[in-house]
């Protein structure tokens, strides 16, 4: 699935506006340029960046309440999904907090935010930071039980998790909820028929 095809889906199915599409094009170019020096995304996915990374991240906007003050993206990497969500966002009071332990990736994220005038902040390793967002999103961060543990230990109030997972989503859920149950829903992914989006409420 190539760039124009994905852009069409972003506009028609997810309501991305033209100015957001322009920023996504600049963003993907920045990722691919930086990927020549540092491994931000797998080299094997470079030619599928629009499908594997942009659309995969963008589908979260269907489930996000943009009236929130902020959301936290754990293990942001090259900015997926956090920066894609922020590029879509139209609410000036809303911002994205990106948690990334790699100094190289933090430097890249900071540069993208400045260049594209995005309302986002970059932080270090989530275990060393304050996490006060009501919604936590992540993609390719850790196994589900570790994500739940991190969010329970660090997030200060009841919050929601929104996690992009592969075909083992249900298996990870079963393993993670053996001792303590949390309400959750599984949504189908737009990019892979076997992948899922986990929507979970962590009430402490």
In this prediction, residues 25-47 reach a mean pLDDT of 95
pLDDT in tens, 47-65: 999 999 999 999 999 999 9
In this prediction, residues 149-166 reach a mean pLDDT of 88
Whole-structure pTM value: 0.94
Question: Tell me, what's the pLDDT at 204?
Answer: 66
What interhelical angle do 103-116 and 18-34 show, nearest 10?
A: 150
On the question of pLDDT at 177 being above 90, the answer is no
On the question of pLDDT at 23 being above 70, the answer is yes
In this prediction, residues 72-84 reach a mean pLDDT of 96
On the question of pLDDT at 157 being above 80, the answer is no
Question: Tell me, what's the pLDDT at 80?
Answer: 97
pLDDT in tens, 97-130: 999 999 999 999 999 999 999 999 999 998 888 8
The residue with greater pLDDT, 171 or 16, is 16
Domain ranges of the chain: 3-202
b/e code 8-21 from CB counts within 10 Å (16+ = b): ebbeeebebeeebb
Round the average pLDDT of the chain to a whole number and report it.
94
User: Per CATH, is 3-202 categorized as 3.30.460.80?
Assistant: no
Question: Tell me, what's the pLDDT at 43?
Answer: 93
Question: Tell me, what's the pLDDT at 2?
Answer: 87
Report the sign of the C-alpha dihedral through residues 49, 5, 167, 96, in that order: positive
On the question of pLDDT at 135 being above 70, the answer is yes
**Phi and psi of 114, rounded to 5°?**
-65, -45
- Binned at pLDDT 50, 70 and 90, residue 153 comes out as confident
Angle at 185 between CA 182 and CA 190, to 5 degrees: 145
| Rounded Cα gap, residues 37 and 41, in angstroms | 11
């Amino acid at each position: 699935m190539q760039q124009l095809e994905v852009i069409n889906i972003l506009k028609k199915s997810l309501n991305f506006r033209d100015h957001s599409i322009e920023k996504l094009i600049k963003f993907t170019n920045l990722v691919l340029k930086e990927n020549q020096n540092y491994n931000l995304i797998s080299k094997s996915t470079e030619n599928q960046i629009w499908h594997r990374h942009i659309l995969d991240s963008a589908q979260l906007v269907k489930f996000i309440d943009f009236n929130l003050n902020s959301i936290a993206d754990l293990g942001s990497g090259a900015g997926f999904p956090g920066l894609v969500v922020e590029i879509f966002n139209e609410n000036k009071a809303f911002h994205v907090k990106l948690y990334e332990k790699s100094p190289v990736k933090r430097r890249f994220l900071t540069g993208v935010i400045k260049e594209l005038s995005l309302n986002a902040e970059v932080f270090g390793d989530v275990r060393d930071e304050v996490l006060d967002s009501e919604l936590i999103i992540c993609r390719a961060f850790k196994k589900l039980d570790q994500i739940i543990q991190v969010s329970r230990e660090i997030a200060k109030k009841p919050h929601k998790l929104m996690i992009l997972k592969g075909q083992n989503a249900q298996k990870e859920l079963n393993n993670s909820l053996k001792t303590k149950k949390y309400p959750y829903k599984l949504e189908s992914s737009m990019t892979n028929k076997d992948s899922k989006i986990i929507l979970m409420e962590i009430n402490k």
